[in-house]
Copies of this chain bind each other. A is one copy, B any other.
Protein backbone atom coordinates (compact mmCIF):
# COMPACT_ATOMS: atom_id res chain seq x y z
CA UNK A 1 0.00 0.00 0.00
CA UNK A 2 2.83 2.37 0.75
CA UNK A 3 4.05 1.96 -2.80
CA UNK A 4 0.55 2.38 -4.21
CA UNK A 5 -0.04 5.51 -2.19
CA UNK A 6 3.22 7.06 -3.33
CA UNK A 7 2.67 6.02 -6.92
CA UNK A 8 -0.80 7.47 -7.04
CA UNK A 9 0.35 10.58 -5.21
CA UNK A 10 3.09 11.17 -7.73
CA UNK A 11 0.85 10.83 -10.77
CA UNK A 12 -1.79 12.97 -9.11
CA UNK A 13 0.78 15.66 -8.35
CA UNK A 14 2.07 15.46 -11.88
CA UNK A 15 -1.26 16.44 -13.34
CA UNK A 16 -2.50 18.71 -10.57
CA UNK A 17 -1.79 22.37 -10.40
CA UNK A 18 -2.20 22.70 -6.69
CA UNK A 19 0.05 20.70 -4.36
CA UNK A 20 -2.63 20.49 -1.67
CA UNK A 21 -3.16 16.77 -1.49
CA UNK A 22 -5.58 15.41 1.07
CA UNK A 23 -4.93 12.23 2.97
CA UNK A 24 -8.56 11.23 2.75
CA UNK A 25 -8.77 12.11 -0.92
CA UNK A 26 -5.70 10.06 -1.69
CA UNK A 27 -7.02 7.08 0.24
CA UNK A 28 -10.34 7.35 -1.58
CA UNK A 29 -8.56 7.49 -4.92
CA UNK A 30 -6.61 4.31 -4.35
CA UNK A 31 -9.71 2.60 -3.01
CA UNK A 32 -8.74 2.18 0.59
CA UNK A 33 -9.99 3.55 3.86
CA UNK A 34 -8.33 6.71 5.07
CA UNK A 35 -7.19 5.08 8.24
CA UNK A 36 -5.33 2.37 6.38
CA UNK A 37 -2.70 4.92 5.48
CA UNK A 38 -1.83 5.28 9.13
CA UNK A 39 -0.36 1.81 8.99
CA UNK A 40 2.33 3.16 6.68
CA UNK A 41 2.79 6.79 7.60
CA UNK A 42 2.70 8.33 11.05
CA UNK A 43 0.67 11.25 9.76
CA UNK A 44 -0.13 13.33 6.71
CA UNK A 45 3.08 15.27 7.03
CA UNK A 46 5.16 12.16 6.71
CA UNK A 47 3.24 11.14 3.61
CA UNK A 48 3.87 14.48 1.95
CA UNK A 49 7.51 14.38 2.97
CA UNK A 50 7.86 11.01 1.31
CA UNK A 51 6.28 12.36 -1.86
CA UNK A 52 8.53 15.40 -1.79
CA UNK A 53 11.57 13.17 -1.41
CA UNK A 54 10.46 11.07 -4.35
CA UNK A 55 9.99 14.20 -6.41
CA UNK A 56 13.46 15.40 -5.62
CA UNK A 57 14.88 12.04 -6.57
CA UNK A 58 12.99 12.07 -9.88
CA UNK A 59 14.25 15.53 -10.67
CA UNK A 60 17.83 14.62 -9.90
CA UNK A 61 17.67 11.49 -12.01
CA UNK A 62 16.11 13.38 -14.90
CA UNK A 63 18.81 15.98 -14.83
CA UNK A 64 21.56 13.41 -14.69
CA UNK A 65 20.07 11.55 -17.63
CA UNK A 66 19.69 14.73 -19.65
CA UNK A 67 23.28 15.70 -19.01
CA UNK A 68 24.59 12.26 -19.88
CA UNK A 69 22.56 12.16 -23.09
CA UNK A 70 24.72 14.85 -24.65
CA UNK A 71 27.95 13.57 -23.22
CA UNK A 72 28.21 15.77 -20.15
CA UNK A 73 30.47 18.79 -20.06
CA UNK A 74 29.14 22.24 -20.70
CA UNK A 75 26.42 20.98 -23.01
CA UNK A 76 25.40 18.53 -20.37
CA UNK A 77 25.12 21.29 -17.82
CA UNK A 78 22.87 23.26 -20.07
CA UNK A 79 20.74 20.21 -20.77
CA UNK A 80 20.39 19.49 -17.08
CA UNK A 81 19.16 23.03 -16.59
CA UNK A 82 16.68 22.61 -19.35
CA UNK A 83 15.55 19.34 -17.85
CA UNK A 84 14.94 21.15 -14.56
CA UNK A 85 12.48 23.51 -16.19
CA UNK A 86 10.86 20.72 -18.15
CA UNK A 87 10.36 18.71 -14.99
CA UNK A 88 8.55 21.63 -13.40
CA UNK A 89 6.31 22.03 -16.41
CA UNK A 90 5.50 18.32 -16.46
CA UNK A 91 4.94 18.00 -12.71
CA UNK A 92 3.65 21.34 -11.50
CA UNK A 93 2.26 20.32 -8.15
CA UNK A 94 5.04 17.86 -7.43
CA UNK A 95 7.67 20.46 -8.20
CA UNK A 96 6.05 22.91 -5.82
CA UNK A 97 5.59 20.34 -3.12
CA UNK A 98 9.15 19.14 -3.40
CA UNK A 99 10.62 22.56 -2.84
CA UNK A 100 8.18 23.82 -0.28
CA UNK A 101 8.62 20.69 1.80
CA UNK A 102 12.28 19.99 1.48
CA UNK A 103 13.13 23.47 2.68
CA UNK A 104 11.28 22.96 5.91
CA UNK A 105 13.53 20.14 7.01
CA UNK A 106 16.67 20.80 8.88
CA UNK A 107 19.69 20.79 6.57
CA UNK A 108 20.80 17.23 6.06
CA UNK A 109 17.46 15.95 7.21
CA UNK A 110 16.41 15.71 3.61
CA UNK A 111 16.66 12.56 1.57
CA UNK A 112 20.45 12.73 1.41
CA UNK A 113 20.84 10.87 -1.86
CA UNK A 114 18.40 13.13 -3.66
CA UNK A 115 19.50 16.50 -2.41
CA UNK A 116 23.10 15.42 -2.55
CA UNK A 117 22.74 14.50 -6.17
CA UNK A 118 21.11 17.78 -7.09
CA UNK A 119 23.78 19.74 -5.31
CA UNK A 120 26.60 17.70 -6.75
CA UNK A 121 25.25 18.07 -10.26
CA UNK A 122 25.13 21.78 -9.76
CA UNK A 123 28.74 22.05 -8.73
CA UNK A 124 29.99 19.62 -11.29
CA UNK A 125 28.12 21.63 -13.88
CA UNK A 126 29.77 24.82 -12.83
CA UNK A 127 33.12 23.14 -12.93
CA UNK A 128 32.48 21.85 -16.43
CA UNK A 129 31.43 25.28 -17.49
CA UNK A 130 34.64 26.86 -16.31
CA UNK A 131 37.31 24.29 -16.73
CA UNK A 132 40.13 26.52 -15.48
CA UNK A 133 40.90 27.32 -11.91
CA UNK A 134 37.90 28.66 -10.05
CA UNK A 135 38.00 30.03 -6.59
CA UNK A 136 35.51 28.13 -4.42
CA UNK A 137 33.62 31.32 -3.63
CA UNK A 138 33.24 32.10 -7.30
CA UNK A 139 32.08 28.59 -8.02
CA UNK A 140 29.47 28.92 -5.32
CA UNK A 141 28.19 32.15 -6.80
CA UNK A 142 27.98 30.70 -10.28
CA UNK A 143 26.19 27.61 -9.07
CA UNK A 144 23.58 29.59 -7.23
CA UNK A 145 23.23 31.84 -10.21
CA UNK A 146 22.45 28.95 -12.51
CA UNK A 147 20.13 27.35 -10.01
CA UNK A 148 18.19 30.56 -9.47
CA UNK A 149 17.80 31.08 -13.16
CA UNK A 150 16.24 27.72 -13.89
CA UNK A 151 14.20 27.79 -10.70
CA UNK A 152 12.80 31.22 -11.47
CA UNK A 153 12.05 30.26 -15.03
CA UNK A 154 10.26 27.17 -13.77
CA UNK A 155 8.16 29.12 -11.28
CA UNK A 156 7.23 31.85 -13.71
CA UNK A 157 6.09 29.22 -16.15
CA UNK A 158 4.07 27.37 -13.52
CA UNK A 159 2.44 30.62 -12.48
CA UNK A 160 1.46 31.34 -16.04
CA UNK A 161 3.67 34.40 -16.32
CA UNK A 162 5.89 33.01 -19.03
CA UNK A 163 4.71 30.91 -21.93
CA UNK A 164 6.55 27.76 -22.82
CA UNK A 165 8.76 28.24 -25.87
CA UNK A 166 11.55 25.79 -26.46
CA UNK A 167 13.77 28.03 -28.54
CA UNK A 168 13.33 31.07 -26.36
CA UNK A 169 14.02 29.13 -23.20
CA UNK A 170 17.25 27.84 -24.65
CA UNK A 171 18.31 31.35 -25.51
CA UNK A 172 17.60 32.47 -21.97
CA UNK A 173 19.54 29.60 -20.50
CA UNK A 174 22.39 30.21 -22.90
CA UNK A 175 22.93 33.66 -21.45
CA UNK A 176 23.98 32.01 -18.23
CA UNK A 177 25.21 28.63 -19.29
CA UNK A 178 27.50 29.90 -22.01
CA UNK A 179 28.88 32.59 -19.79
CA UNK A 180 32.33 31.13 -19.40
CA UNK A 181 33.27 31.92 -22.97
Per assembly, the copies of the chain total 2
Q: Which of A70-120 contact B (CB under 8 A)?
A: 99-100, 102-104
Chain A, interface SS category: helix
In the assembled complex, which residues on chain B have CB atoms less than 8 Å from the CB atom of A159? 99-100, 102-103
How far in angstroms is the closest Cβ of chain B from A163?
10
Q: How far is the CA of A149 from the CA of B145 in the complex (A)?
A: 7
Residues of B within 8 A of A179 (CB): 175, 179
How far, in Å, is A138 (CB) from chain B's closest CB?
8
Q: Are B155's CB and A99's CB within 8 A? A: yes
Q: Is A160 an interface residue (CB 8 A)?
A: yes
Q: How far is the CA of A141 from the CA of B176 in the complex (A)?
A: 12
B148 and A152: CB pair below 8 A?
yes
Q: Which residues of A contact B (CB under 8 A)?
A: 99-100, 102-104, 140-142, 144-145, 147-156, 159-162, 168, 171-172, 175-176, 179
Known: A151-B156, A152-B154, A155-B155. 10 other contacts (CB 8 A): A100-B159, A140-B168, A141-B168, A141-B172, A144-B153, A144-B162, A147-B156, A148-B148, A152-B155, A176-B176
